Structure 1
Amino acid sequence: MATITKRGKKWRVTVSTSKFGDNARISKTFEEKEDAKKWALESELAKNIGINLKSRNQIFAVYFENWVKNVKKNDVRETTYQNYLHVIPIVKNLFKETKISQLDDLLVQSKIDEYAENHSRKTTMEVLLKIRTALHYAYAHGLLATDFGTLVKTRGKEAEKKNIALSITDMKILRSYLLRSHRNDFEIMVLLALETGARRGELLGLRPEYLEENAILIRESISPTSKDTELKTKKSRRRVTINKEVYDLVKTVQVKENGYIFDPDGFQQSAKLRRLLNRLGLAQTTFHGLRDTHASFLFSNDKIGIDYISQRLGHSNIQTTQNYYLTLMPEKKHQQDADALDFLNSLSE
């Protein structure tokens, strides 16, 4: 049983870390006796359902770092592991000396809200998901009484979307320029991104043997944060058709010493694309926005099914395609607005 003793004006609680009794004990001091009683009761209840009180006294940030380096390292791809490593200093800064025994949904929520004040909702969610996974692992190993991680919500600021699909008009101008007046290998890579909807890493992972006369084979992906060339998902491994004119241009690119067709060039593709679009007087988007443009253009054709588009983009399932790429081209939206109004007007005829 827990013991409560008065020391001066404070109250000290001492609890055995095992429900069977052992020499290992933890203690905590409180200003008020009621708080001491409450902590003693909570500790005894936790101990009786198998919670490891001694391990709960670990600093959460230290536990998180050890969990990432000793558990997640063997569970995830190298690129994903690098993302986990990036979160370690964030957790250290947010939680500082907070112990596992002090964690609950309200405290973790306050830390996530603090982080969200200066970060986008998407970035905050990526951090929270990793913290949730660590909390779930701690719960499964008897360090937490409840698996409260799912109660913590992401707020954060909605970041302005940068991967904006080009209009059909701008897409045609860009494509025509790239086919007829391209200046370098990078601009051929832009054309291939526009024609295939392939991810940047997938295009950088192209080798001569992955090039067919009417298609490219997606087999590798090059990342700026890892030497791992494994594709994002199993469905990412695919064959994407291209027309012969594009094939002929890609064949003109001299293969680099490392065996790949395109040079990563410091992974500055979006910056270089921005300068190209400025020069042509076109709307701005990122390199990934070329993938959005390709997908949106296909969606604008009612004859092309979503299942085909999903396979072409290398999505793991159709739901992913619906969630991220069902944004209509501006011209298509205007046309559908007109069609909808005509349809509604027909009701009064």
Structure 2
Amino acid sequence: MATIIKRGNSYRAEISNYKHGVNKRLTKTFQTKAEAKLWAMQNEIAKGNGTDLAKRNDTFSEFFENWVKIVKKNDVRPATYLNYTRTIPIVKKLFGKIKLSELNDLVVQSKIDEYGSNHARKTTTEVLLKIRTSLRYAYGRGLLTTDFASLVKTRGDDAEERNKALSITEFKILRSYLLENHDTDFNILTLLALETGARRGELLGLKPDDIFEYGIKIMRSISPHSNDTRLKNKHSKRSVSINRKVYDILKNVKIKENGYIFDTDGFHQSSRLAKLLNKLDIQKTTFHGLRDTHASFLFSNDKIRLDYISQRLGHSNLQTTMNYYLKLMPEKKHLQDADALNLLDSL
């Protein structure tokens, strides 16, 4: 049973917590007796439900680091694991000595708001998603009494989109230039990105045996973060057709000593692309933006089926392609909204 002890102007709540014959008593001090009673009652209920109160006394920072290094390490690809490890110092700085037992949606929300005050919303969301997953794991292990993770949100304005799709006009200008100026590996890599919509790592992972008449086989992906060449998902392994002129250009690329067609070039493709786009007076985008440009071009043609585009892009499912479609072609949604309303009005 819990006990409440008055100590001067405050109240200390104590809870017995026997584990393996040892009483790891938990205590906490409050300004009012009502607060002390509430805390004691909540923890007695949690103890009755099987929650390990001793582990709830660990800091969230410690728990998060152990969760990443023990649990997530075996669940995700090395590149993804590296991304998780980069979140550890962020969590340590935000949560400090805050214990698992002290966490609730308001505490976590305040910390996410603090982080979001000087970071882009997308970056903040990525951090929150990892924290949410860890909180759900803690709840599943009985270290939290409630599953409040979904209540925490990111707020604020979204940062300006970096991976902008080029307009159809810009697409044609860039493609024409690359077809006429294929004297560098970078220009050929850029042309292939426009032609196939493949991810940068997938193109850097191409070997001579992956080239066929007329197309490329996506078999692996090169990452700047690890030596793991596995693809993003099982649907990423695919064949993508290219036209004859692009095929002829690609066949003339000199194979590198490591057996790949392209050199990684320090993974500086986006910075080199920025210089090229500036030279051609085309709006700035990233190398991944070329993938969005390819997708937009396909979406603009109503004759090309969505399931074909999904397969060509290597999406994990059709819903991913649908989300991509709505992001890149919002005017198409408005047109379809109008068509749907007109159809209903005709009844």
Under a length normalisation based on structure 2, what TM-score does the superposition of the two structures give?
Answer: 0.92
Q: Structure 2 counterpart of 1:2, which letter?
A: A
What is residue 7 of structure 1 aligned with on the other side?
A: 7
Q: Report the CA distance shift for 1:329/1:276 in structure 2 as closer, same or farther (over 3 A).
A: farther
More displaced 10-residue stretch of structure 1: 154-163 or 224-233: 154-163
**Matched residues in 1 for 2:174 and 2:324: separation?**
23
1:267-282 equivalences in 2 (<5 Å): 267-282=267-282
Identity rate, percent: 64
**Residue in 1 aligned with 2:129?**
129
Change (3 A) 1:205 1:120: same
Question: Paired residue for 2:222?
Answer: 222
SS in 2 for 1:198: coil
The answer for the alignment partner of 2:314 in structure 1 is 314
1:77-115: CA deviations, max 9, x gaps? 111111111111111111111000000111111111111
For 1:19 and 1:35, the matched residues in 2 are separated by 26
Q: CA deviation at 1:261?
A: 0.8
Deviation at 1:39, TM superposition (A): 1.6
Matches of 1:327 and 1:50 in 2, distance apart?
Answer: 45
Query: Which residue is equivalent to 1:47?
Result: 47
How far apart in 2 are the matches of 1:241 and 1:13? 70
2:147 corresponds to: 147
Moved more, 196-205 or 158-167: 158-167
Are the equivalent residues in 2 in contact too, given 1:19–1:48 (CA < 8 A)?
no
Residue range with higher mean Cα deviation, 68-77 or 10-19: 10-19
Worse-matched range after superposition: 299-308 or 57-66? 299-308
Q: In structure 2, the residue corresponding to 1:229 is in which secondary structure? A: coil
Cα distance per residue 1:45-64 (max 9 Å; x no partner): 11111111111000000110
Measure, in 1, the Cα distance between the counterparts of 2:281 and 2:183: 17
What's the counterpart of residue 249 of structure 2? 249
| Partner of residue 301, structure 2 | 301
**Does structure 1 retain, via aligned residues, the 8 Å contact 2:217–2:239?**
yes
1:327 shift after superposition: 5.3
Letter in 1 for 2:107: L
Structure 2: runs of 5 or more not aligned: none
Deviation per CA, 1:198-240: give whole Å up to 9, x if none: 0001011111111112010001111111111110111111000
TM-score by length of 1: 0.91
CA 1:42–1:21 in 2, change beyond 3 Å: closer, same or farther?
farther
Q: Which moved more, 1:141-150 or 1:5-14?
A: 5-14
Q: What is the rounded CA distance, in whole Å, between the counterparts of 1:214 and 1:199 in structure 2?
A: 19
Decide whether aligned partners of structure 1 residues 203 and 119 sit closer, same or farther in structure 2, where only a CA change above 3 A counts: same
Measured after TM superposition, the shift of residue 10 of structure 1 is: 2.7
1:29-108 alignment runs, 5 A limit: 29-108=29-108
Give yes or no for contact 1:198–1:313 (8 Å, CA) kept in 2: yes
Q: Distance in 1 between matches of 2:121 and 2:315?
A: 23
**2:23 alignment partner, SS class:** coil
- Tell me by how many angstroms 1:294 deviates: 0.7
Q: May I ask how many residue pairs the two structures share in their alignment?
A: 338
Render the CA deviation track for 1:155-208: whole Å, top value 9, x for unaligned. Answer: 143011121111222111111111112331000000000000000010111111
Structure 1 position 312, deviation (Å):
0.3
